[in-house]
Amino acid sequence: MTDEIRSAIDFYERHPISAQIILAKLAESRGDVERLAPEDLFAHDQDHYGGLAANDALAERGRIAAGMRIADFCAGLGGPARYLAHRYGVDVTGIELTPARVAGAQDLTRRAGLDNRVRIIEGDVMKVPLPDACMDVVISQEALLHVPDVSRALAEARRILKPGGRMAFTNWVAHRPLSEADAELLWQGMAARRLHSLDAHAGMLRRAGFEVESVEDLTAEWATILQQRLAMYRKLRGEAEQASAPAGHDAFYRSYVRFVDLVGQAALGGGRFAARAV
């Protein structure tokens, strides 16, 4: 295992949003958490910017329709996978690296009664444990920033897609090179090392065998959302400490504050990409 992969796992093992924290929160407000409706989780299980609307935007760009088979690269706690299955009537396979998140995702999916249509499997998106040409659409949100070789992950997406299938994803982008100090801060605090420009993402998609359909700059939108998330992380950190759960570490908060700053200055930002397998 490379140090980049190890760091991503370490970061998500300590992340302030976990299945344990979500269930503790729901137990407080509603008591029984053995059987949940998918909607009970949606306010808590989406670990990307823009909540459910961001899933709808990818569903639209990926032309997701009932009955399709979808792969979610870097599925986290399975929030987007459950939402797509519930809202669009699709079958979703999430690929997730961090064992604790795979277990958390499976547990939440079972409680939400969606385990017949959503499965989260442990794996690395650079080497996807799925056969060729088995998926209609691949999605991913705010995760490829942790992946050491994004081109390899996109080649894997192309491999598992049926001809004409689509890839729709969001990712951090670098609008200009970072100082060494900022790059080190984001690596140490958030396991983010490989950041690419909007154009570089489009180039990688083409080289992986896709026709690029759209590239959207989400930086201004994210700048606002990130200010709100920063406030949420501060609150969650306090709650994790009270529940004696892993509360993350100071490097994360220092790094997150700087990240929010850099997006505010449009040095970093977000991109949404849609492409068709050709």
If the CB atoms of residues 14 and 163 are measured against ligand SAM, the closer one turns out to be 14
The single-letter DSSP state of residue 179 is P
CA-closest candidate to residue 258, choices 235, 212, 226: 226
The binding site for ligand SAM (CB under 6 A) comprises 8, 12, 46-48, 74-76, 79-80, 95-98, 101, 124-126, 141-143, 146-147
Nearest to 147 by CA among 193, 180, 101, 183: 193
Q: Which is nearer to ligand SAM, 10 or 213 (CB)?
A: 10
100 closest CA partner among 122, 67, 127:
122
Residue nearest to ligand SAM (CB): 76
Indicate left, alpha or beta for 125 from its phi (over 0: left) and psi (-120 to 50: alpha): alpha
For ligand SAM, the closer CB: 31 or 74: 74
CB of 238 to ligand SAM, least distance (A): 21
Query: How near is the Cβ of 21 to ligand SAM at its closest, in Å?
Result: 14
CB of 267 to ligand SAM, least distance (A): 20
Instruction: Please say which residue, 5 or 134, places its beta carbon nearer to ligand SAM.
Output: 5
Q: How far apart are CA 181 and CA 187, in angstroms?
A: 10
Per-residue tokens: 183: 């790059």
Min dist. Cβ of residue 180 to ligand SAM (A): 23
